[in-house]
Structure 1
Amino acid sequence: MDTIARLAQEGKAEVPVYAIGADRRVATRPFEVAGSPLFVAEGIFAAEIVEECRRRGLLAGAYALRRPRGTTFVRRLTRDLAEQRKAPKVLLRRGVALLRAEPAVLRRQTGLGAEAARARDVLRRVAGLVASHPHH
């Protein structure tokens, strides 16, 4: 939360670098929003901080992508195989487990305050937020 607050208030912060294959953070790197009035925090755990961001006045919007599960499975598996994140058998088994868990994940994210929406709707809403922002 401190990093999110620094990005929102100062426009720069040190952000973590993760090694997905190792399942851990391996470093940090400087990140700047380069004058943008908004930034996007994304990922499977982003919904965990929605309420705190809202409480601190840092939240412009919170969305959980609603996609066809098969499409998500194929995209994830293709990416993970191309990046050689783990052994193919492990990636396939993990992908099937995530495919089955996806409805519960979406329910959890919306329960934490994110709004379920299709990607094109999220992009349209974010574009509207940027256009209506006073520092645009």
Structure 2
Amino acid sequence: MTTPNPPARRVVLLAGPSGSGKGEVTRRSGLPALALDDFYREGDDPALPRRFGIADWDDPASWDAQAALTALETLCRRGRVTVPTYSISLSARTGQTRLDIGDAPLVIAEGIFAAELIRPLAAAGLLADGIVLDRPGPLVFAMRLVRDLRQSRKPVPVLLRRGWGLLGDQRADMRAWVRAGLRPLGLHRAVRELRRLALIAAADGRVHQLTAPAAHRGQVGSIGRSRRG
């Protein structure tokens, strides 16, 4: 079935455990990207879930899925959108920025909650593909800890408690992401796949939905716990 007046741009969702290399994959792909982490709720929100003695930023309830979806729909239709900027170390929005992708037919939406957007993006005809980075748990633990220490995200005891917890959850999280419809790929293969999709899109002038994730119907909603960063 053909969608009337289809948009010129579509979204590739990129999820994965915190510290798994989503940002690196995005940079290597050469595609424009929207950082889904910028749609976290403010840290002083009394409704935030809690874990590890702090607000549970790995729970989808800590994130504004509807605002992220609206931004992506605007970006696909218009090629530009104003989005918040969020400081993870401050757990607060610090301003806003304008993202302009011009006539690029693909944009990556990167973040641990990317799978939350599979259904609504597919229903709107805006989903091109969905990928989740699948990397060894100990490697992800080490990469996440080094990054969080370098960026002074949280106190060291909190980072260690959270890191061990996320390591224990990683296999279950991967199963949930795959059930939601994301394709598990290693870092290098994910980069190659994104570049391949970009070439297809450039040759075609626009990109059609290239895969068929399992969960296509419904509204914005949680698939369960995800992981931040």
TM-score (norm 1): 0.91
Q: 2:194 aligns with which of 112, 126, 129?
A: 126
1:52 to 2:120 alignment: yes
Structure 2: gaps (5+ residues):
1-68, 207-229
How far did 1:96 drift? 0.8
Q: 2:157 aligns with which of 73, 89, 92?
A: 89
Partner residue in 1 for 2:144: 76
Shifted more, 21-30 versus 116-125: the winner is 21-30
1:29 to 2:97 alignment: yes
TM-score (norm 2): 0.56
Shifted more, 121-130 versus 67-76: the winner is 121-130
| Counterpart amino acid of residue 120 in structure 1 | H
Task: Give structure 1 regions of 4+ aligned residues with deviation exceeding 6 angstroms.
Answer: none
Residues 47-95 of structure 1: CA deviation (Å, up to 9, x unaligned): 1001111111111110111001111111110000000011111111111
Cα 1:35–1:45 change in 2 (3 A) is: same
Q: 2:88 aligns with which of 10, 16, 20?
A: 20
Find the residue that maps to 1:21 and give its secondary structure. coil
1:100 to 2:162 alignment: no
State, as a whole percentage, how many aligned pairs show the same letter. 33
Report which of the two has the higher share of helix: 1
Structure 1: gaps (5+ residues):
none
The one of the two structures with greater contact order (alpha-carbon pairs below 8 A, sep at least 6) is 2
Q: Distance in 1 between matches of 2:172 and 2:93?
A: 26
How far did 1:24 drift? 4.0
Alignment RMSD (CA, Å): 1.5
Q: 1:40 aligns with which of 87, 108, 128?
A: 108
